[in-house]
Amino acid sequence: MIKKIFFSTVIAFAGAITLAAVTVPAIFSDGAVLAKRENVPVFGRGTPGEKVTVKFGSQTRQTVVGTDGKWEVALNLKNFPATPQNLYINDMVIKDVIPGEVFLASGQSNMAFKLPRAIGGEEECKRPANRNIRFFIVQTAYSDEPLSELRGKWVIADSETRREFTAVGYFFAEKLNRTLNVPVAIVSASLAGTPLEGWMSKESVAPFPETVKIGKTRMDALKSYPARLQKFLKATAAWEKKYQRTDIPVKLPAADLRWEPHSGDISGGGICWLRNRIVLSEKDVKNGFKIYLGRIYAPIKIFIDGKKVLDGGVEKAWSCAQFGVDIRPGEFTAGPHEILVRYWVSHDRMHMPQPFRFGSCTIDGKGWEIYREKSFPVCRNEMLRSRPRPPGSAPMPSRQWYRLYNAMIHPLIPFRFSGVIWYQGEGNASRYADYGKVFSAMITDWRKKFRNGDMPFYFCQLPSFQLPVADPAECSNWAYLRREQTDALKLPRTGMAVLTDVGECRDLHPLEKRIPGERLALQALAQIYGKKIPFKSPDGITASARGNEVKVTFSHTDGGLKAAALPEKLPLKKSNNTATALIRRSPGAMLEGFALCGKDGKWFWADKAEIAGDAVVLSSKKVPEPVKVRYNWSSFPLGNLYSQAGLPVAPFELTVTAR
């Protein structure tokens, strides 16, 4: 069988270091960090029967390449000094290798979220280089079959490399490094928009028939999409010709045309141009820059100073792809330049992103002008009825079940990690049922595959998102997904960072990433390194009633519970400084976020919610006989209950018993 492998063009480094017939994955390259543990594997491939000698400091290990072309030795680095050394493998010399703490960071967009975008990220990027914080970014790839090679490069944290770091991973590593004074490394393997199952092995997904069924449906859609798209394009071309809505030859606008301010969507379709000015810095010229337009359902062309830099055709447009272009270093000079964007839309509505959707580091998002070159009438009657139906978004090959695992996780096996940090769940919120079981299966499988049965695994619970609800009975998928995430805590050596206090109503990617990283670090500092510090968020344990009053007891309060001050406003989107007024659901109570359910199944916010040591006493005049209690059980909860250590209480739902 020929293995299918697909690599992105984010980083272009060799997938293995090769000399003679012996190879090692790129994870063993200059600047690598190896776990300061016993039985640390060093492994690779070679010609069967070939001798392999590995030397690191005072340790020498020898083996022979097996009949399967693989070889492996184990080093004992538990008591090894944390100083850089050369790693010798036959005639290969891998420089600046250091024993330390090395964690695998994985998940979707909030883990892939880069440091400069985070609150305080730019300041961190400006800090002096720290040779004891290192990163290895696994290049995005996907494969139908498990691979043994990957692409990536070890880098040391400095003002330039930090800009590519995962923000959560960086803040996690920085806190460990600052607290323990040891080298800390992050191996980053994450990708935006990915489901849990994309990071699982095929065999670990197999026991879940509903999950397998969904995966098969997605794979079938991926395979059939090209034919469906071509059928649509052919029908669309015929429709355009019939109603005389075809494109015309491209001709750059004349200098004396009248341009109008850009105002968003335009009905009727046609051909139009957008114009703006960009100013390139010397850094842009040296490093290159990106122009990002987002998802646009129309063929587009981009020109800079009359030179075409992007030609986006109809296939890409109707595949709902993201439009953008990377400008190579040195292609343009520093200073001002004119940028033109040409749209052609044959259907009824010409969607044009608002100015803030355009951008690179050099475009301020304002000052766009529009020129309408040709207009088509609005589709009506038979023209509208006969218009071909689009095939929808193109399925993303990299997001199919187990493909990411095959290309980005499997090649790392059996590299020894100190632990795993994980931030994912948004991609599964719409089908939260059984997430806890599937997630636990993934953790167990990773531990088995990496031959590290108690490998620590720490994860982020979903943060707040969307607008707060007025009705406590209105529960979002996110509330249930958070409950499913807590199921994984039944596994030993796991930990969860509760993040219901760091979200943004209108941004799936909250800018606050220091808090998630440092709360994950608390888990590691306590569980792995034995630090006597608070690290667990309080959990609701029991709920008992006397009359209409319910008493909820909590664990991990670290000396008692406390109420945090409530803000006057909630962030809608911190990236553009928008906010909305906070409307209290329990205005007469000390605490927000508590709701009670009566025997009639109706939910009401608590009228009273007060702290009593390690417990909370609450009631509602509308619930004379409470049978259930919830806390922070919504997509964007408002709860303000914390432990004395400042960790937020985890969302919960409890059945109320009699006192």
pLDDT digits (tens, 9 = 90+) for 168-181: 999 999 999 999 99
Q: What is the mean pLDDT of residues 48-55?
A: 97
| Cα 183 from Cα 99, distance rounded (Å) | 7
**What are the tens digits of pLDDT across the range 561-607?**
999 999 999 999 999 899 999 999 999 999 999 999 999 999 999 99
Per this entry, what is the length of the chain?
659
Structure-block tokens of residue 79: 């008591």
Q: Are 446 and 498 contacting, i.e. CB atoms less than 8 angstroms apart?
A: no
Tell me which residue of 399, 403, 413, 411 sits closest to 150, measured CA to CA: 411
Helix (H) or strand (E) run with residue 154 in it: strand 154-157
In order, the DSSP letters of 177-227 are HHHH-S-EEEEEEE-TT--GGGGS-HHHHTT-HHHHHHHHHHHHHHHHHHH
| Cα 451 from Cα 418, distance rounded (Å) | 12
Question: Bridge-partner residues for 459, per DSSP?
Answer: 422, 496
Q: What is the mean pLDDT of residues 323-335?
A: 89
Strand bridging mode 16-19 / 70-75: unpaired
Structure-block tokens of residue 185: 């490394």
| Cα 510 from Cα 359, distance rounded (Å) | 20
How much is the pLDDT for 50? 97
3-state secondary structure of 425: coil
More confident residue, 14 or 526: 526
CA 252 to chain centre: 40
**What are the tens digits of pLDDT across the range 243-267?**
999 999 999 999 888 898 876 666 6
Cα angle 237, 241, 247 (rounded to 5 degrees) comes to 75
Q: Please name the residues in contact with 108: beta carbons below 8 A apart, sequence gap of 6 or more.
A: 190, 191, 192, 193, 194, 423, 424, 426, 427
How much is the pLDDT for 363? 52
Question: Bridge-partner residues for 565, per DSSP?
Answer: none
Q: What is the mean pLDDT of residues 369-395?
A: 89
Q: How far is CA 121 from CA 115, 288, 363, 505, 578, in A?
A: 5, 22, 21, 21, 20
The fraction of the chain above a pLDDT of 90, given in percent, is 80
Mean pLDDT for all residues in the chain = 92
Q: Are 391 and 428 contacting, i.e. CB atoms less than 8 angstroms apart?
A: no
Structure-block tokens of residue 141: 């790839």
Structure-block tokens of residue 563: 């109420």
Q: Are 617 and 624 contacting, i.e. CB atoms less than 8 angstroms apart?
A: no
Label residue 87 by pLDDT band (50, 70, 90): very high
Q: Are 109 and 399 contacting, i.e. CB atoms less than 8 angstroms apart?
A: no
